[in-house]
Structure 1
Amino acid sequence: MGLSSKYGFVLALFAVVLIMFSSCGTRKSMVYLQTDSSQINTLYEQYVPKIQINDILTIVVTAADPKVTAPFNPMSTMMGANMTQQTDMALRPTYTVDDNGDINLPMLGKMHVAGLTRMQAIDKIRGDLGQYIKDPGVNINFNNFRVSVLGEVARPGSFIMPTERVTLLEALGMAGDLTIRGVRENVMVIREVDGKKNIQRLDLTQQNVVNSPYYYLAQNDVIYVEPNKSQINNSKLGANTNVIISIASLLITVISVLTR
């Protein structure tokens, strides 16, 4: 084997070893919810999201006689038998929670709902409706229950949730799960509570993560998955890859010419 061939072989071997070391991982750092001695006692009711300022709520009033609900459902007169479900949902009345935590309902006027759960708000509105409608029904949905997932996931972005009952793992699933380069032991959840940003770091490899008050998400939560050390090192290397390849090619060419 010539000198140039030896140098080429050494460089190739070095590259293979570098890739192997940069991509290696262990089961302990990759597998979710590994069995431990923790007791699983999470109850969704403990962490039900509360209505917040700037939330957009869809509120629909129902009754045995639909005619009596018309004043409380301003758009209901536009709905017909031929409406599609999507159109029907678009025409349902929505209310934005103002800076004081209030919504302004037809007939009922201002009502403070910030800090209430969805079910608590339903009970409150039903109680006030009792003076106008016998046995009224009330349905409330969040129109803007959004969660953002950033960092080392397959499809980062913001996602509108169909329900307020959503877990951290479900949100990560919507984002395509963590990539192989994501750190599972240190996932960050950023949540705003009473105007203040709270940051919690969660270890997805531990079973007791489901006991965290941040396991069930609230509206506008931001999830960030940081890259592992190998990815950080690779990004540093990547910025100079072309230079390194050019220098390596030049060296091999020089060695080849000198050893002819």
Structure 2
Amino acid sequence: MRSISKYSVTLTLFVAVLIIFSSCGSRRNMVYLQQDSTQISSLYEQYVPKIQINDILTIVVTAADPKVTAPFNPVSTMTSSNLSQQVDLALRPTYTVDGQGYITLPLLGKVHVAGLTRVEAIEKIRLELSQYIKDPGVNMNFNNFRVSVLGEVARPGSFILPTERATVLEALGMAGDLTIRGVRQNVLLIREVNGQKTMHRLDLTQQNTLNSPYYYLAQNDVIYVEPNKAQINSSKLGANTNIIISIASLLITVISVLTR
């Protein structure tokens, strides 16, 4: 009976070790943007997304006299104060950037906007409109600023962002944040630049990530969070780990009964 009792103790310790190693984690591996001596840059303008081919832009022309803007807003003239904001946005004129980087505007014709920031494109169109309208205003927004978040996040998927001033952390927040199994030190960002796919790694546990040119997102970025080693190992074992623990627990129970 004494040997059985020792065996019971051994099994108990074995199960305890399994549980501890399966549940323990390091703060260094989990906490975002850990404090260090990094100087944080606030120069977002360095990383503003540029307009790309196939982007869809919503453009609305404004002026002191709304009547003079009618030719430039062929759809928005249908809106009224009774329409909901969602319907109003749906009726605003949109323009797709063609393969040569142009959009075609009423009366103005083709205007090259690819490679410009949203602010630069607004100013260019505003100057063109000055031929027809006194002190024109231009409102422009991306209509397809989409990013995809994959891997070890709570809700993977594609998301349309309301503004181009979006960060990796904001996109991860929309995806429900990383799971406990996601590797925060090696988040992959895939970006298309001039038709070529580029890959970049971000360490979300380091403050220096805030200074990365890839911290701010561009349209069609893909973020991938890889699983940690524990998750990879558990996928190899499948349900076997739970089965082993269950069997060990059952054996301990049986042994405890027999040694009474």
TM-score when normalising by structure 1? 0.89
Equivalent residue, structure 2, for 1:152:
152
Equivalent residue, structure 2, for 1:99:
99
What is the CA deviation profile of residues 68-116 of structure 1, one whole-angstrom value per residue up to 9, with x for unaligned ones?
1111011123112211111100000001111111111110111111100
Equivalent residue, structure 2, for 1:258:
none
Equivalent residue, structure 2, for 1:168:
168
Instruction: Give the C-alpha shift of residue 57 in structure 1.
Output: 0.4
Write the letter of the residue equivalent to 1:170. Answer: E
Equivalent residue, structure 2, for 1:127:
127
Matched, 1:181 2:181: yes
Q: Tell me which moved more, 12-21 or 78-87.
A: 12-21
Q: Name the SS for the 1:236 alignment partner.
A: helix
Equivalent residue, structure 2, for 1:52:
52
Instruction: Give the C-alpha shift of residue 50 in structure 1.
Output: 0.3
Task: Give me the whole-angstrom Cα distance separating, in 2, the residues matched to 1:151 and 1:9.
Answer: 40
Instruction: Give the C-alpha shift of residue 241 in structure 1.
Output: 5.2
Name stretches of at least 5 consecutive residues in structure 1 with no aligned partner: 256-260
What is the CA deviation profile of residues 110-155 of structure 1, one whole-angstrom value per residue up to 9, with x for unaligned ones?
1111100000000000010011100000000001101111111111
Task: Give me the whole-angstrom Cα distance separating, in 1, the residues matched to 2:241 and 2:230.
Answer: 15
Matched, 1:232 2:228: no
8 Å CA contact 2:15–2:248 kept in 1: the answer is no
Task: Give me the whole-angstrom Cα distance separating, in 1, the residues matched to 2:10 and 2:132.
Answer: 86
Instruction: Give the C-alpha shift of residue 175 in structure 1.
Output: 1.2
8 Å CA contact 1:79–1:91 kept in 2: the answer is yes
Give matches, 1:55-134, under 5 Å: 55-134=55-134
Equivalent residue, structure 2, for 1:222:
222
Instruction: Give the C-alpha shift of residue 46 in structure 1.
Output: 0.4
Instruction: Give the C-alpha shift of residue 19 in structure 1.
Output: 2.8
Equivalent residue, structure 2, for 1:41:
41
Relative to structure 1, the CA distance from residue 3 to residue 91 in structure 2 (aligned partners, 3 Å threshold; closer, same or farther) is farther
Equivalent residue, structure 1, for 2:140:
140
Matched, 1:194 2:189: no
Task: Give me the whole-angstrom Cα distance separating, in 2, the residues matched to 1:74 and 1:6.
Answer: 86
Task: Give me the whole-angstrom Cα distance separating, in 1, the residues matched to 2:143 and 2:90.
Answer: 10
Write the letter of the residue equivalent to 1:233. Answer: N
Q: Tell me which moved more, 31-40 or 226-235.
A: 31-40
Aligned residue pairs total 258
Write the letter of the residue equivalent to 1:82. Answer: N
Write the letter of the residue equivalent to 1:41. Answer: S
8 Å CA contact 1:151–1:227 kept in 2: the answer is yes
8 Å CA contact 1:23–1:230 kept in 2: the answer is no
Task: Give me the whole-angstrom Cα distance separating, in 2, the residues matched to 1:186 and 1:26.
Answer: 16
8 Å CA contact 2:118–2:140 kept in 1: the answer is yes
Task: Give me the whole-angstrom Cα distance separating, in 2, the residues matched to 1:10 and 1:70.
Answer: 83
Q: Work out the percentage of aligned pairs sharing the same amino acid.
A: 79
What is the CA deviation profile of residues 181-237 of structure 1, one whole-angstrom value per residue up to 9, with x for unaligned ones?
111111111111001111110111111110100011111111111111111111111
8 Å CA contact 1:34–1:206 kept in 2: the answer is yes
Relative to structure 1, the CA distance from residue 18 to residue 241 in structure 2 (aligned partners, 3 Å threshold; closer, same or farther) is closer
Name stretches of at least 5 consecutive residues in structure 2 with no aligned partner: 256-260
Task: Give me the whole-angstrom Cα distance separating, in 1, the residues matched to 2:168 and 2:250.
Answer: 50
Instruction: Give the C-alpha shift of residue 42 in structure 1.
Output: 3.8
Task: Give me the whole-angstrom Cα distance separating, in 1, the residues matched to 2:40 and 2:5.
Answer: 60
